Amino acid sequence: PNPSGRNDRPRPGSHPPTPLLPASSFPSLPVCRLGNAKCSSNPFEPTRHAQPLMARPRRPVAAALALLIVVLLACGAAADDASSDDDAGVLRTPGCSNKFQLVKVKNWVNGTEGTTVVGLSARFGASLPRDVHKAKRTFAVLANPFDCCSNLTSKIGNSVALATRGECAFTAKAKNAQAGGAAGLLVINDNEELYKMVCSDNDTSINVTIPVIMIPQSAGKKLKDYLDHGASVEVQLYSPNRPVVDLSACFLWIMAVGTIVCASLWTEFVAMEHVDERYNQLTRKDGPNSGTNHSEDKEIFEISAKGAIVFIIVASVFLLLLFYFMSSWFVWVLIVLFCIGGVEGMHICLVTLFSRFFKDCGQKTVHLPLLGEVLTLSVGILPFCVVFAILWAVYRHASFAWIGQDILGICLMITVLQMARLPNIRVASALLSAAFVYDIFWVFISPLIFHESVMIAVARGDNSGESIPMLLRIPRFFDPWGGYDMIGFGDIIFPGLLVAFSYRFDRASRKGILNGYFLWLTVGYAVGLFLTYLALFLMDGHGQPALLYLVPCTLGVIVILGWLRGELHDLWNYGKLQNENLVDEP
């Protein structure tokens, strides 16, 4: 028997997660630098009016740090959750050289169609038709003996034999079923995984001409129970091709790129903040269309190089804890955190949008007990956001749940990218390089140590039966195997921090579209994400560490472009002197 046991069924997962850094889109608090615990307000700005509670919420640094750790968990692969074949590390011999393929097993009990079962074909035996219309509908019978390890006591009569795993080699079972006149063989596994059925070392030449399929234990037990009670069971076996390109991957690509572009432009075009070239920082400018007259310094968390390395180390430890100790209750904790972050992000985005386009909405306030003066708009929107998140949590397994998850996730990531910022590409290089190594190690190298990819196992929730919600996903609409394409929040947030920095640098330096960096980094991110999905296709759907392709296409682009333009020194040290001046001011 083959020592490899791998589940090749369509199943969700492939990408750990990431969010929860609630941040306000409104200017309200001083600039803070992560890693040195220093904060300072801009001494050059005039005194601001008081801000109503909830309109400009203040968020503690500790909460932001905790949420950043969760963000780091989103490093992972853009992925699809089904692999139709996997031939790695399996020796081929004459008569035993088929590709492993997922198989659909349609079944009827007394003429009533049941739930289609997904199985896995063997390395040997006949190939199955790709089109369901070319597949024959055949009766299923129990093998006798049930393990099919010896000659069958009765002829099966051109039916599909149902046998249990164990007691002898898979090839022996197939030969006995074929000798008994079976048209095919369904092997019931002893668990829910789909085991790869290969030839033993002694099988030098195999002549099996019937299809041999392994099915999960639960599905096989149901079919056996029906047959034991005298029911008539029919099966239809076929293995449809997956489309080369599914539109879901295109939509996911648009969602990821659009989120980064929207987050980069949000501050200026939605929240109506403009660049103050004198001090090279974003300050709020009140105007007739700003939607509010409140103007306070904005709370910003600037990531330091030291902090970036610490985050990656802590995230690695947390990832291991999830790998070894994840359970259903732990996933629920992550779901609750995701809902809290999603509510915060959605609330901030909606309040900002309404305040931007409906000026009066951002000015009316109401006084509430304990909370004090609160924006009426905020009071009205917050319950809607809470109900939205609760409904998603309750119906998260429904076919439409991906819509709510993506809405909450996009709002959350836009908010994160407003709060956490890179001061220069020196820090960006430290953060993205560390995340680059982190992503590759836990996806590709960890199987050599832990016998499976730690990040992929955590992302799809192998130990809990439920995948982590910190990712964008979209159904594969035109794939006969169904499933989802997905990408972790970290694969959007980490490059997004650099893209957002490039936009601020361009505005502060008064650069145009073509001679700036924002356009080229956006294109670089789009190309990197395309390369990720190309690799996903070439690797038969196995999860890919997206930062392997995204970091060179973003960080590499700005470094090379800055070097060619002679601006690398400015990019490398940008904001350093300004931040030092802010901290030193009394």
Domains of the chain: 101-238 (3.50.30.30), 247-279+300-584 (no CATH)
Provide the pLDDT for residue 500: 95
Alpha carbon dihedral 123, 125, 128, 134, in 10-degree steps, equals: 180
Per-residue pLDDT for 214 more than 70?
yes
- Give residue-wise pLDDT tens across range 449-463: 988 888 887 777 666
User: For position 68, what pLDDT does the model report?
Assistant: 46
Lookup: tokens for 355? 């305040």
Q: How many percent of the chain have pLDDT more than 70? A: 74
pLDDT at 447 exceeding the cut of 80: yes
Q: Which residue has the tokens 């009670």?
A: 229
Whether the Cβ atoms of residue 502 and residue 484 lie closer than 8 Å to each other: no
What would the pLDDT profile of 301-310 be if each residue is shown by its tens digit? 788 888 888 8
Of the pLDDT bands very low, low, confident and very high (cuts 50, 70, 90), residue 496 is very high
**Nearest residue to 312 (alpha-carbon basis) of 68, 60, 572:** 68
Can you give the pLDDT at residue 579?
A: 52
Residue 470 has pLDDT above 90, yes or no: no
Per-residue pLDDT at 101: 87
The pLDDT-based confidence of 411 (bands split at 50, 70, 90) is very high
pLDDT tens per residue across span 328-380? 777 888 889 899 999 999 999 998 888 887 777 667 777 778 777 778 888 88
**Which of 40-44, 294-298, 318-322 is least confident?**
40-44
- Quickly state the pLDDT bin for 246 (edges 50, 70, 90): confident
* DSSP class of 245: S
Q: How far apart are CA 422 and CA 497, in angstroms?
A: 6
Q: What is the pLDDT of residue 27?
A: 31
- The pLDDT > 90 percentage for the chain reads 30
Cβ pair 27, 295 in contact under 8 A: yes
Q: Which residue has the higher pLDDT, 69 or 210?
A: 210
Q: Which residues are catalytic?
A: 439, 491
- Measure the CA–CA gap between 29 and 26, rounded to whole angstroms: 9
Report the candidate in 261, 164, 303, 202 with the shortest Cα–Cα distance to residue 518.
261
pLDDT at 471: 87
What is residue 330's predicted lDDT score, i.e. its pLDDT? 78
Per-residue pLDDT tens over the stretch 140-153:
898 888 888 888 87
CA distances from 357 to 76, 272, 296, 360, 388 (A): 37, 11, 20, 9, 23
Instruction: Report the alpha-carbon distance of residue 82 to residue 241 in Å, rounded.
Output: 12
pLDDT(280) > 70: no
Quick check: 496 and 417 in contact, CB under 8 A? Answer: yes
| The two three-digit tokens of residue 480, written as one number | 């006969």
* pLDDT at res. 299: 65
Predicted pLDDT of residue 576 = 63
Kindly report the average pLDDT of the chain as a whole number: 77
Nearest to 444 by CA among 83, 16, 71, 76: 76
Whole-angstrom Cα distance, residue 423 to residue 570?
A: 11
pLDDT of residue 488 exceeding 60, the answer is yes
SS3 content of the chain, % helix, strand, coil (to 5): 45, 15, 40
If one compares 133 and 541, the residue with the highest pLDDT of the two is 133
